[in-house]
Amino acid sequence: MPNYYEILGVDRSAEQEVIDAAYRAMMRRYHPDTFTGLKAEGERRAKQLNEAYATLRDAERRRAYDETLGPAAPKTAPVREALANPNPPSARHRGLLIGGLAIAAVITVVAYANRQAPPAPIATASTPTAFPKPAPSPVAKTAPSPSASSTTLAACKGMTCRVLTPFGWGGIEAGVTTDSAQAASGLKIGDDGHYTEAGDGTCLAYEVIGGPKNLQMLVESGVVTTVEAYLDPPAPTFMTDRGVKLGDSEAAVRQAYAGLKQLPDIYSEPPDKKLFYYEPGGERGIKFSINGGKVSGISVGSPSIEYVEGCL
């Protein structure tokens, strides 16, 4: 059974207002009538979102579903670092791997402050015809605890964003064209020349014009596939939506992410390695480059995060 909380990009302890806002934001992005990516992908995502929301919007069904998940996992440390305007150095950092994808989970709580009435599931071609809804029982509300999804991430968009998610960064989402990425993020991106002379132009490294020099994107046939940030003091320090920062220990990664896939670093010697975390379905993930026991790089986006050099 898919994890409905992960599909909506919210914590298991999230209040109803957060779940409602997450559903609205995700459906605006993935509804088949508006999704700019592959039609089948939009329909699949919309079906998942409707299924998840139909359960989590109802107190009784949510309680029964939570019982199937077992005890809640310990909460990960919240993102505590303030977002500040970048002050990139003149020196340019080149990475072996380029990463990509834009943040869907980041914007899932933007509408939280509005506290609108819970929306009804949005109909699509793949939406079930009806969701049985038993009479809800009163549920005691508790104050939401501080977390990346309810504080910092709500404002994480554009040049000031320092948070990477499996879906991307700052409004640039993996799986969309460069034009769509620019329109969604409000940023100007362009070929940085890193792979321009290496092939037929279908695999390119992109940068944010005037942005952090330790952040790059991989663009394949005009589509952003990964976003990658490297540790390069005094350049900005990026982190994941679970609070793991560039420069953190390998132990911090393993504490925040379960079920990690490990591959060797072919350009280095053990114990250096690559650690991979994938969202349900394996279509979006995060790669942590571990060098000297520390996180030296974070790549997010499609399975292209496993590329070794360029698009290979």
Question: Residues 180-194: pLDDT tens digits?
Answer: 889 888 899 999 887
Q: Answer yes or no: is pLDDT of 113 > 70.
A: no
- pLDDT of the residue at 34: 74
Average predicted confidence (pLDDT) for the chain: 76
**Nearest by Cα to 166 from 309, 303, 297, 34:** 303
Higher pLDDT, 66 or 122: 66
The pLDDT > 90 percentage for the chain reads: 40
55-105 residue pLDDT tens: 999 999 999 999 998 877 655 444 433 333 444 444 444 443 334 433 444
Residues 6+ apart with CB under 8 A from 226: 97, 98, 99, 100, 101, 174, 217, 218, 299, 300, 301, 302, 304, 305, 307
pLDDT band at 260 (very low <50, low <70, confident <90, very high): very high
Q: How far apart are CA 264 and CA 2, in angstroms?
A: 30
Average pLDDT, stretch 14-34?
85
Whole-model pTM: value is 0.54
Average pLDDT, stretch 4-25?
90
- pLDDT of the residue at 239: 94
Q: Which contiguous run of DSSP H or E holds residue 294?
A: strand 294-301
Q: How far apart are CA 123 and CA 103, in angstroms?
A: 24
- pLDDT of the residue at 112: 41
